[in-house]
Amino acid sequence: MLLDWNSIRERGLAGVGINEEEAREIGRLTDPEAVERLLAIAGEVKQHHKGNEIYTCGITNAKSGRCPEKCSFCSQSAFYETEAPKYPLKPPDLIAAEARAAEAHGVREFSIVTSGRSLSNAKEFESVKKSLKQIRETSGVQTCASLGLMKKEQLAELQAAGLDSYHHNLETSRSFHPNVVETHTYDEEREAIVAAKSLGLYVCCGGIFGMGETWDQRVELATDLRALNVDSVPINFLNPRPGTPLAEKHDLTPETCLKIIAMLRLMLPERDLIVCGGREVNLEDRQPELFRAGATGVMLGNYLTTSGTQTDSDLQMIESLGLEVRPPPHTPTAPPATT
């Protein structure tokens, strides 16, 4: 089919996403002029809905390794021999200090991330609640957690302790999910997202691209994210980890990554799109174009088990493009004493 660029632009500006057939056609674009038109329209739609503010997030790998889940992309799985670090849950004081340090380096949303199927240990759960309370008391960041397949009742307790956002990725489309995740189902992933949405939490849900999925399966994932009405979409590009089954998988080009961002922007015109892991190795010197392709944010600092770009470099890139970091949403309720 021929894409009607004027119609796509008008619908995007009106907040109406493209349909699945149009999204699939984007994957078939090879003509440089057509790809440039795609990026220009996606960038215009992003600018219309989100302006010049860039959403920055950061994480702490609060509990690492020894994960009982078998996900072929993940170096923290206990099924694989990797160099991922292994340590127990960090204490609340340390996590809160990391949140303050991240805020001082331009991060507006800070997430506590733990390995494992879920945070089912009662002592660990109470510790995370204390961490959230301390973060809220001593910093202004939007609080987030990524704790696996949590239930609604648990999420409600975390929300009462100060949780603003919940992050849980679908990872990939329903049809491809069994190829990369063996120990839990797509529906279990989805249930955690639905539970978080039902509580009014800001929900971050996306996936990893470049694991062997087809373009149509990327559209399938985007369609489900739209149906779930998630608030932001973390976009990860596979950075293959030694020791995992996907260690030799290198399917992405910088142009493909930009087309994925643009497709997601045009399917989800009003949502935040946050480019996270793997952007450095996959976008290469085209990283500054991710905003022009429709992204509204980036993860600053390091990722779970890999190093990211120096924060100062990312902030300089944002400033050089005439963009600005969206400020943190809160005022600390009990700032730490100064000496």
Q: What is the pLDDT of residues 231-280, one digit of tens each?
A: 999 999 999 999 999 999 999 999 999 999 999 999 999 999 999 999 99
Q: According to the model, what pLDDT value does residue 99 have?
A: 97
Say how far apart CA 264 and CA 273 lie, in whole Å: 8
* Mean pLDDT confidence for 159-167: 98
What is the average pLDDT value for the chain, to the nearest integer?
95
pLDDT at 336 over 80: no
* CB atoms closer than 10 angstroms to residue 285: 7
Say how far apart CA 305 and CA 231 lie, in whole Å: 25
Q: What is the pLDDT of residues 58-85, one digit of tens each?
A: 999 999 989 999 999 999 999 999 988 9
Q: What is the pLDDT of residues 115-135, one digit of tens each?
A: 999 998 999 999 999 999 999
CB 67 within 8 A of CB 34: no
Q: What is the pLDDT of residues 175-199, one digit of tens each?
A: 999 999 999 999 999 999 999 999 9
CATH number listed for the domain at residues 18-325:
3.20.20.70
Residues linked to residue 167 through DSSP beta bridges, in sequence order: 204
What is the percent of the chain where pLDDT is above 70?
A: 98
Task: Quickly list DSSP for 29-63.
Answer: ---HHHHHHHHHHHHHHHHHHHTTEEEEEEEEEEE
Q: Would you state the structure tokens that stand for residue 128, as one six-digit string?
A: 């995370």
CB 151 within 8 A of CB 194: no
Task: Quickly list DSSP for 113-164.
Answer: EE-SSB---HHHHHHHHHHHHHHHHH--PEEEEE-BS--HHHHHHHHHHT--
Vertex 8: Cα angle to 6 and 14 (nearest 5): 105
Nearest one of 44, 84, 52, 48 to 67, comparing CA atoms = 84
pLDDT at 26 over 80: yes
Nearest one of 147, 12, 169, 150 to 67, comparing CA atoms = 147
Q: According to the model, what pLDDT value does residue 303 have?
A: 76
Residue spans of the domains in the chain: they are 18-325
Q: According to the model, what pLDDT value does residue 50 have?
A: 96
* Mean pLDDT confidence for 189-218: 98
pTM value > 0.85? yes
pLDDT at 339 over 50: no
pLDDT at 94 over 70: yes
* Mean pLDDT confidence for 276-285: 94
pLDDT at 166 over 70: yes
* Mean pLDDT confidence for 282-308: 90
* Mean pLDDT confidence for 26-35: 96
